[in-house]
Amino acid sequence: MELFEPAWLGPLELKNRLVMTAMSTRFAGSRGETTERLIEYYAARAEGGAGLITIEEASIHPQLPHVPNALGIFGNHLVPGLQNLTRRIHDAGARASLQIGLYFRQHVNGFPRFAASADAPDCSPGCRELTPDEIRYLTGLFVEAAERTRSAGFDVVEIHACHGCILSEFLSPYWNRRKDEYGGDQAGRFRFAIEILEAIRQRLGRDYPVIYRISGSEFYPGGFTEEDGIALSLALEKGGVTAINVSGGLGHINHVSIPPSDVPRGILLPLARGIKAAVKVPVICGNSLTPEMAEEALGRGDMDLVGLGRPLIADPEWPRKVREGRSREIRACIRCNQGCFGGLRDLRTPGLTCLYNPAAGHEIDRAIRPSEVKRRVVVIGGGPAGCETARVARLRGHEVLLIEREGGLGGQFTLASKPPKKEDFAKLAEFYAVELPRLGVKVRLNTEATPEMIASLAADVVVAATGSLPVVPNIPGSALPHVTTAQDVLAGRVTIAEGPVVVIGGGATGLETADYLSELGLDVTVIEMLDAGGRDMMSGIGVREALLARLKEKRVRIVTGHRAIAIEPGAVVASDRPLKGGGKEVRMSACRVVFGLGNRAEGMMDRLGAACGCTGQLCSIGDCRSLGNALNAVHAAFEMALTI
């Protein structure tokens, strides 16, 4: 496979063509220092077989971290910690690269907003336009950071010049409205980036590998274009760059840089192909490619090296599994953005992780070790929580039986893969369907776990992971024959062929069901009590934004601030007083009505209890214990299984 042929970055040889791309973690210390947590996270990816490990963006200025607990490269005191990091990566057989960069747009600690242009679209009054003297000062910071990067033992330095950082502001006409030598035409907009490269070359020489990560296009009107990407690449090549790493998107405005599942995989490949045709230096490109897509792209000559970001968060052993012909065993990234991007956006979390790789970012505190006592474990339920419990318990050496009522694994995630643009979510069930039997977990499908059956198994530990059931409110008309639930619609148990349809509930369940129904050409209205749809979905990671945009495009009406109070044969009655009804009532025509109000805990523990005669440990996990999202369920299951 071309994926595993050696590659060169100038004088530097890589053992293969797989490059872990930079993605922030929030694992550094509060002042940018390297931590053991950060070291072990990257060491695990190096041990997985990638040729080059790119460490997340390190800030070149102490007052300008782009996220809390961002890594730093702004002082010599940070070098010894980084040397420990590069040593671990090298010991694992990989090369190490450090991305350096600077943001002013991320308001982390109240530092004044500087910008390429004071009149940039997101600049409020008081925004300061960088002067030429300040630009030269920042150029010096980049050079000093690059020199520290080499001193810390990194084989490569990568300059971050996309995704809304300060360099991308200068490069893009969307942000750059300057009238001086750093604005205007391409030569002006590119000047800052080129001056940094030339200054680094002057300080470090011609041989030390320097990569520029750029946008091949910002995919936005008035932004950095495909033609800009080719022209910039040619200018960087002339300035002595070693390689071009092609990304895309306009920061967090259109979510192409960390695309959710609605963005086609491989969207950046045509951009990389155009740049590769123009330059002689190596081109790197990724965008959550599957092994098959990556190999085909190399074969076509789209790029020289394959970038892997989120795929290595989900499965650090992606390279090894592919090389050994075990691609079916990969825990594929489903591009949900909940643990990775969400871990950066939601500061209540401890940082980056993965929805169904709970060890990501927890390589130290969630290490799986053999149990001293081997037990017989029965898991009831094959949803995400049940599958993860079974997987980890088996890895600890226990004898595990998983019982599932339906004909396949996945539970609620099987339904989650049915709405438009969410086909990736089926990969979770596919992973467990391969992994559990491979590990030796016994799986019984189409089996109802009765108390009598559980008693007959004489298990040491019984784990109820039976999930949840749809919420059906007790309102007049809720039992009429034209009324159903989102779960029945998505599971295919109910077919809706005519509208109008009213979906009651405008959270994730209701909106995704409305998306599914509107894709069939049906007229759909959603009733939601809150002031906006999708309030239970995380903002800023692209998923909610993309869903609401699709619904708007398909003219799905979302009626907020209303409560459904009754269902009639041809209509739903809603009140504009959502607390308890009353006020002004509105009748909305409805041939079919769908409850999309989420779920309630399934009562398996109540049915088991003493009835099953279990003399061992009896516990529950996932939605049947406490309602939450899939990430919480899988992570709680992982941690509980470590205690069995």
Q: What is the DSSP string of 599-639?
A: EEE--HHHHHGGGGT--SEEEE-GGGTS---HHHHHHHHHH
In the chain, residues under CATH classification 3.50.50.60 are: 472-599
Amino acid in position 227: E
CA 546 from chain centre, in angstroms, equals 14
In the chain, residues under CATH classification 3.40.50.720 are: 376-467+602-641
b/e per residue, 10-48, with b = 16+ CB within 10 A? bebebbbbbbbbbbbbbbbbeebbbbebbbbbbbbbbbb
If you ran DSSP here, which 8-state letter would residue 193 be given? H
- Residue 613 is predicted with a pLDDT of 53
Q: Compute, in degrees rounded to 10, the torsion defined by CA atoms 549, 538, 34, 364.
A: -130
If you ran DSSP here, which 8-state letter would residue 131 be given? P
Q: CA angle, corner 79, sides to 77 and 80, nearest 5?
A: 90
State whether residue 478 is helix, strand or coil: coil
- Residue 610 is predicted with a pLDDT of 54
In the chain, residues under CATH classification 3.20.20.70 are: 2-10+17-345
Q: Please tell me the chain's helix, strand, coil percentages from 3-state DSSP, rounded to the nearest 5.
A: 35, 20, 45
Task: List the beta bridge partners of residue 544.
Answer: none
Q: What is the DSSP string of 3-62?
A: GGS-EEETTEEESSSEEEPP---S-S-TTS---HHHHHHHHHHHHTT-SEEEEEEEESST
Domain 2-10+17-345 fold is TIM Barrel (3.20.20)
Amino acid in position 223: G
Phi, psi angles (nearest 5°) of residue 439 = -80, -15
If you ran DSSP here, which 8-state letter would residue 354 be given? B
- Residue 122 is predicted with a pLDDT of 79
Supply 368's token pair: 């799986």
Residue with tokens 């030339």: 198
Largest CA distance in the chain: 81
Supply 332's token pair: 């594929």
Supply 452's token pair: 């009598």
Domain 376-467+602-641 fold is Rossmann fold (3.40.50)
Contacts of 460 (CB under 8 A, 6+ apart): 375, 376, 377, 616, 617
d(C-alpha 299, C-alpha 280), whole Å = 17
d(C-alpha 355, C-alpha 353), whole Å = 7
Q: CA angle, corner 535, sides to 532 and 536, nearest 5?
A: 160
Supply 48's token pair: 């997985």
Domain 472-599 fold is FAD/NAD(P)-binding domain (3.50.50)
> Running along the chain, 644 residues long, what does each successive block of 10 average in pLDDT?
97 98 97 98 98 98 94 98 98 98 84 91 86 98 98 98 96 96 98 98 98 97 97 98 96 85 95 98 95 97 98 98 97 96 92 97 97 96 96 98 96 94 96 98 96 90 90 95 96 95 97 97 97 94 95 97 96 94 93 94 65 67 81 95 96
Neighbours of 179 (CB within 10 A): 9
